[in-house]
Every structure is written in C-alpha cells, then in structure tokens.
Amino acid sequence: MTAHKNNTISTGVSDFLLNCFVRSPSWQLWLSLPLSLLFLLAMGANAILLITIRMEASLHEPMYYLLSLLSMLDIVLCLTVIPKVLAIFWFDLRPISFPACFLQMYIMNSFLAMESCTFMIMAFDRYIAICHPLRYPSIITDQFVVKAATFILVRNALIPLPIPILSARLHYCWRNVIENCICANMSVSRLSCDDVTVNRLYQFAGGWTLLGSDLILIFLSYTLILRAVLRLKAEGAIAKALSTCGSHFILILFFSTILLVFILTHVAKKKVSSDVPVLLNVLHHVIPAALNPIVYGVRTQEIKQGIKRLLKKGW
C-alpha cells in the first residue's frame, strides 16, 4: 500500500490504462469472439475435469491429483487475464488500479511457473511409470503428491514475489498508459522514470531459473522414457507406452513452444509488429488452459469413462 500511495502522490496517477493493439485496433474486433469462446471452453472443460476426478473414486490416484492441480492453475490464470481483456475489447474499460495491476502481474508470473513445474512433476511421474513400473506404487504415492504440490506452490509463490514489489516501488512520472492488454512486468516498468535494470535482470534470471530448469528436466525425462521404450520388445508395448505419455508430451511441447515464440518475437521486436508479442502473451494464458483438459479427456480412457458415467447420472 505504501508504494501505491507514494506513486499516487508523486505522479498524480492512481491507475494505469491498458492500451491493447494500438497499431492494429481491428484486432480487437475479430479476436474478441474466438477469445471469449476459448475462455468459456477453458472454464467449462477444466470444471468438468475437476468434477469428474472429484466424483469418480477410480480417479483418486496421484496422476489425476496432479491433473486436478493443473486444471486449478489454468482456471486461475484465465480468470486473472481474460475477463479484463474482454472488458477492454467490448466496453473499453482500460483503467486498472495500481494494486490490481501488480496483483495481476504477480499471479501471471507465479502461476505460469507453477504450471511449468506441474508439467515437470507429471513428466517425472511418466518416467517412473515407464522406466521403473514395479517401483511406481511405492514412489508415486499420495504423500508424494502432497510434497510435490507443496514444492510447486512454495517455490513458485516465493521466487516471483520480488517482481511486482520492484515494479510497485518505481515512480511513474505521470506516464500511465501500458502498451499491452495485461500488466506484464516490463510493459509496466518501462513507464517509470527510474532505472529498471534490476527489474529486467530479476525477470530474466527468475524466469529462466524457474521455466528453464523445468523444461530441461522435462525433456530429460522424456529422453529417458523414449530410450526405455525403444528397448521394449514385447508386441504392442511400445505403442502402449507411448500412448501413456503421448498426451503429456503434446501439451508440454505446446506450452514450451508458444512460450519460446513469445520470447523470440519479443527479442526481435524491431522486425515484427509490437502487437504480435501482446497477442501471444494473451493467447498463452488461454489456449493451453483450453487444450489441457480436452487432450487429457480424449487420450485418457479412465477420464472418458468417468465423464460418461457422470453424464449418465446427470440425465
């Protein structure tokens, strides 16, 4: 609150204005419909998945608990970003208060890191299931899930915490128009008349420490899984093993690819429209959230059966 009061007094500004797609205003019109549909799909699909796992006793297993955690993270990320973006598109509600902006910044940084970490734990789960199947029941237990969830929440809640704090301590010198649809750290910090070198360095170091380490461990796990699968000689064993972890890898690959594209376009911003990174940043908060429950529901037989049973009970 102190930082908010200091900023308000010294700048005369009590909120920011989110300026979406200033160079391509027509994007707002054609993007609003698919974005709203993706948002509804993400909310509905994740809610169905959570209810199915909660109601079906056969899905009360460590793997599905991790999937529930992923769905909850997706829901929070969508609710943090997409309703405000749609409000800007439809009603031109561009103002966002200082506290709300910095809170959104924190949730985006911490929950994206939590999602990445959850993918990493799920990759480890698949590694144990494929490479050490006899030891799986003794390693991947309910207690393991509790410890993993605690690690995911604590690590990714604490490390991104300085990001909004550093931004909130800056003085904004009457400039309050954010050239973005969301309160991304550097989009906000560049409005300040203070030196933002520390903000940039911490964002870079924190991001690569969290997301970079997760991605390295994820691809290491799947490399070991692939090597183990190729050694299987039983008929149909390779197809079964690949099917077990195929959906996980598809989603992880998509999550990391869209993140990489966003980073590359941000680095090469002189060669691409500045609206492209903004668009990718918005889509990164809704497309994975919409795809995760659908891919798992389609490729996981137990979840499909659980949803069918729930639908029959409902009817």
Residue 212: DSSP 8-state = I
Look at residues 253, 256, 258, 250 and name the one whose alpha carbon lies nearest to residue 298: 250
Q: Compute the average pLDDT of residues 238-248.
A: 68
Pick from 106-115, 134-143, 273-282: least confident = 273-282
The pTM assigned to this predicted structure is 0.88
3-state SS class at 277: helix
3-state SS class at 5: helix
Check residues 77 and 211 and name the one with the higher pLDDT: 77
CA distances from 194 to 18, 173, 191 (A): 21, 9, 9
pLDDT reading at 10 higher than 70: no
pLDDT, tens only, 23-33: 767 778 888 99
Half-sphere exposure of 218 (CA within 13 A, CB side): 24
What percent of the chain clears pLDDT 70, i.e. is strictly above it?
Answer: 84
Architecture of domain 16-304 in this structure = Up-down Bundle (1.20)
**Whether 164 contacts 99, CB under 8 Å:** no
Q: What does the pLDDT read at residue 77?
A: 94
Q: Amino acid letter at 53?
A: I
pLDDT, tens only, 249-292: 777 777 777 666 666 666 665 566 777 788 888 888 899 899 88
User: How far is it, in rounded angstroms, from Cα 174 to Cα 113?
Assistant: 32
**Whether 107 contacts 76, CB under 8 Å:** yes
Check residues 251 and 63 and name the one with the higher pLDDT: 63
E strands, 109-267, are 177-178
CA distances from 179 to 16, 93, 128, 161, 275 (A): 10, 15, 45, 23, 9
Output the CA torsion sign for 214, 219, 222, 227. negative
Check residues 315 and 227 and name the one with the higher pLDDT: 227
Q: What does the pLDDT read at residue 297?
A: 72
Q: What does the pLDDT read at residue 266?
A: 60
Q: What does the pLDDT read at residue 9?
A: 40
**Whether 133 contacts 234, CB under 8 Å:** no
User: How far is it, in rounded angstroms, from Cα 127 to Cα 132?
Assistant: 7
Q: What does the pLDDT read at residue 198?
A: 93
CA distances from 95 to 19, 88, 107, 122 (A): 9, 9, 19, 39
State the greatest distance between any 2 C-alpha atoms of the chain, in Å, as a whole number: 72
DSSP string, 106-148: HHHHHHHHHHHHHHHHHHHHHHHHHH-GGGHHHHS-HHHHHHH
Output the CA torsion sign for 299, 303, 308, 314. negative
